[in-house]
Structure 1
Amino acid sequence: MDIEDAHIGRRLREVRSWRRLSLTAVAGLAGITPAYLSMLERGLRPVARRQTLESLAQALRVSPAELTGRPWDQPTSRGSEAHPDLVALAASLDAFELGDDPGGEVRDWPAVAADVDRLVHLMQITADYVTQGEMLPGLLRELHALYLRDPQHRPDVLLALTRCYSSATWVAKILGSDGLTLMAAIRAQQCADELGSSPWSGYTTWLRGVTTGSLNRAKQYERAVAKADTLVSGLDDPEVVQAYGQLHLSAALAAAAQDDRDTAMTHLGEADAVAGRLDTEVGDFAQVWFGRTNVGIWRTTLGLEFGDGAKVAEDARSVHIDTIPSPARRAVFFANVGRALLSDKKSTASGLNLVLKAEQLAPQHIRGDVFLREAVADLLRQARRDAGGRDLRGLAWRMGIAPTG
């Protein structure tokens, strides 16, 4: 059975052909064997690690996003509805500058602030990227106008702009636009720097790293470590502690994506140690939920990246996931553990149940997860068409994966 949308493999073959490069040449540049690359291109093996995807993108001289496709390319993905809003968001990011009044009527600050709170909820709690994309152009215009017209609320407006550009970063990331992701992340950093807040500056550096890090993992690592070092003197402030911890988690991910386990574990250990300074298991700064539980969630992510398989699910048992207030964050955890279980035939059913649970909590995020789509496509490929199970086939269809033949 072939999978119509073994899309990373198909794109690998298309780009390699366009570059007029042989299997041997690309495999050598990416640090894998030609036989393994051939299996990836034919959809016989899934791309399961960031390091593999990013090494192949570098070998082919394209962005990783060029190999993973766009949500609106998939007929069953709700991301297709967001394409026009992504275009409007791009126009907003280009048009609005801090200190320029975009003109037009603007609501009073309390009304705008209420919508910003709703946007943050959509970003950090429900992971509804389509609705965020609809809201952002209008909110950004109003906030840039209020920054000049309402000096009394300027610090509040700057923080709101930081949150809105953070939202724009995630919208662009999930909907598949590296250029917009980077632009929005830089705008968020600029607003945080203008705000003059150390923890928010740390947060936006973390944000840029985890959303655009695939463009340059070495730079992600460098930025995270450098910013964390500037926060050391303020670790008596719980908000600084949380920003500092998140930066070390970003550094750990950057190291893992470069296949450097020792360095990744060192930064994970530092994040775990600093989490012990908090009075609660889960912090609330910037709603990134840093704390001992979040460190455990990131441990599962790193375990997946290093191909630890069943050990990921074993480590996950000690994570108190119910302490995380965000259904979307819990969904990422369930999806990661589920993906680890899917890699073993003995635990496939348990893994699929966890993935379906994750999808219920944050459907847009889970259906757009590149590595999860690869795992589901691989599972569908292994099953006979009529024996794959209704749940598996339904999930695959919702992700834009369709069996043929």
Structure 2
Amino acid sequence: MEPTDEHIGARVRYWRERRKLPRKQFADMVGRSTSWLDKIESGERELVRLPMIERVAEALGIDPAVLTDEPSAQRAQQCVDACEVQAIRRALAAYPGLNTGTPEAVDLGQVTAQASYLDHAWMTSRFTVVARHLPTLMAEAQTALQTAAGADEVAAYRVLVTTYRLASSMLLKFEANDIAWLAADRAMHTAMQAGDTWSLARATRSVARAMTSIHEQTQAIATLLAMADQMRHEVSGNAEQLLSLYGMLYLAASITAAGQEDAGLARDMHDAAMAAARRYEPHYNDHHTFFGLTNTQIHRVAALVRLRECGHALEFAGTISPEAVAALSAERQSNYLLDLTEAHTGVGNYRQAVRMLVRAEQIAPEEVRCRPLAHGLLRSLLGNTTGESAQLARQVAIRAGVEA
């Protein structure tokens, strides 16, 4: 069914606001008046001529079909797009410290609260929310550090590390690996300036993941273990604040070693993480890591999948409490289900693989519909399933915009 003009106008307004374009600026970009734009967005005036639809779409950085086709519109709205990745890149290219004059102070409390909000959005796999607000937050966090003094300095360093880490994680999700490395490196240098163990441990995980993405696994593992060695004594005296960060270093090392097909080291790193997890108590601060026995266990499944030991991965997964997994964040749950999807595919159990993928989509739609990794799994299933499973896979593919 063809969309009504009101639907097209609503989409124009949605994308204009998502791009943070003021009415006057956008109207100028398409060579029209603000009154024309108001009528289009309200549905009072028709937007039917293809050249104008194309001009509006180009100004918004979207395909014209996103304005005129309902499935295309839905897919585009739920996913991070190239313009938003580019906005993160531009934010990383800014060096506010080079500007002359004294920067206008920002409210560190508000910047910290916004960073916490985006951290939560990340954990619930709402990546479009992170992408839309992260460039602005990055600039505000940089200014907050420039203007912080005394007791506020550590908090300012921490919030800037958090923004760089979010930038790196976002870029890795969407395979912009070289720029992800830059963001992680910024996090690491900021943490080193702070001399704060919390900041260093979190930045180290990011930089190791970025190193891995550019095939520097050996250096990534060395960096993770160096940080673990450096903070070991401090963890003994402050386990409540630091144990989860310490344990997550070993989990990252186990996954990286598995990617190198070093089964022995992957197992050793898992055992070290388990030792930390057994010391862990629920009232300890997990710093949004969801560290604990369950997260450690599902990381073992991920490592076994990367070692191509899919049968063993499924056997181990059978020992993990589903209720405990359900208590993790949506991001953790969905990635575990994607690992199970790959494991079932690896042993030829395509029907169960489709079920895992469908469950992952239900928990975190953006993980499945928008990520290149999930699209690769989906294409494999489309070519190997029949009957009801094939129908389910095709339905997911339609929502994800993946061609059969």
Shorter-chain TM-score bucket reads 0.7 to 0.9
Q: Which residue of structure 1 aligns with residue 267 of structure 2?
A: 265
Deviation of the 1:269 alpha carbon: 0.9
Aligned partners of 2:85 and 2:101: how far apart in 1?
A: 19
Aligned partners of 2:274 and 2:329: how far apart in 1?
A: 20
Change (3 A) 1:322 1:200: farther
Q: Which residue of structure 2 aligns with residue 214 of structure 1?
A: 213
- Paired residue for 2:136, among 128, 135, 138? 138
Deviation of the 1:374 alpha carbon: 2.8
Q: Which residue of structure 2 aligns with residue 249 of structure 1?
A: 251
Q: Which residue of structure 1 aligns with residue 312 of structure 2?
A: 311
Q: Which residue of structure 1 aligns with residue 230 of structure 2?
A: 230
1:102–1:144 contact (8 Å) kept in structure 2? no
Q: Which residue of structure 2 aligns with residue 359 of structure 1?
A: 361
- Paired residue for 1:338, among 338, 341, 363? 341
Runs of 4+ in 1 over 4 A off after TM superposition: 75-81, 97-107, 368-371
Q: Which residue of structure 2 aligns with residue 182 of structure 1?
A: 181
Letter in 2 for 1:328: E
Letter in 1 for 2:113: A
Q: Which residue of structure 1 aligns with residue 287 of structure 2?
A: 286
Q: Which residue of structure 1 aligns with residue 124 of structure 2?
A: 126
Deviation of the 1:366 alpha carbon: 3.0
Deviation of the 1:85 alpha carbon: 1.9
SS at match of 1:255: helix
SS at match of 2:402: coil
SS at match of 2:93: helix
1:248–1:270 contact (8 Å) kept in structure 2? yes
Change (3 A) 1:77 1:348: farther
1:251–1:264 contact (8 Å) kept in structure 2? yes
Change (3 A) 1:122 1:349: same
Deviations 1:159-182 (A, max 9, x none): 111111111111111122112101
2:258–2:266 contact (8 Å) kept in structure 1? yes
- Identical amino acids, percent of aligned pairs: 20
Aligned partners of 1:248 and 1:320: how far apart in 2?
A: 22
2:245–2:289 contact (8 Å) kept in structure 1? no
- The alignment's TM-score, normalised by the length of structure 1, stands at 0.73
- The alignment's TM-score, normalised by the length of structure 2, stands at 0.73
Aligned partners of 1:220 and 1:102: how far apart in 2?
A: 39
Deviations 1:246-268 (A, max 9, x none): 12222222221111111111111
Identify which of structures 1 and 2 has the higher relative contact order when contacts are C-alpha pairs closer than 8 Å and 6+ apart. Answer: 1
Structure 2 portions without partners, runs of 5+: 1-62, 64-71
Aligned partners of 1:96 and 1:264: how far apart in 2?
A: 39
Aligned partners of 1:94 and 1:351: how far apart in 2?
A: 41
Deviation of the 1:196 alpha carbon: 2.2
Aligned partners of 2:288 and 2:133: how far apart in 1?
A: 20
Q: Which residue of structure 2 aligns with residue 295 of structure 1?
A: 296
Letter in 2 for 1:126: T
Q: Which residue of structure 2 aligns with residue 158 of structure 1?
A: 157
Change (3 A) 1:326 1:101: farther
Q: Which residue of structure 2 aligns with residue 402 of structure 1?
A: 403
Deviation of the 1:104 alpha carbon: 6.8
SS at match of 2:352: helix
Pair 1:329-2:332 in alignment? yes
Deviation of the 1:185 alpha carbon: 0.5
2:79–2:128 contact (8 Å) kept in structure 1? no
Letter in 2 for 1:361: I
1:313–1:337 contact (8 Å) kept in structure 2? yes
Deviations 1:363-393 (A, max 9, x none): 2223345454333212211246x77532110
SS at match of 1:389: helix
1:275–1:290 contact (8 Å) kept in structure 2? yes
Deviations 1:293-316 (A, max 9, x none): 111011110111122223322211
Q: Which residue of structure 1 aligns with residue 381 of structure 2?
A: 379
Question: Which shifted more, 220-229 or 90-99?
Answer: 90-99
Letter in 1 for 2:126: D
Deviations 1:335-367 (A, max 9, x none): 21232123344x433332221111122222233
Count of matched residue positions in the alignment of Structure 1 and Structure 2? 327
Tell me how large the CA RMSD over aligned residues is. Answer: 2.8
1:359–1:367 contact (8 Å) kept in structure 2? yes
Change (3 A) 1:234 1:107: closer
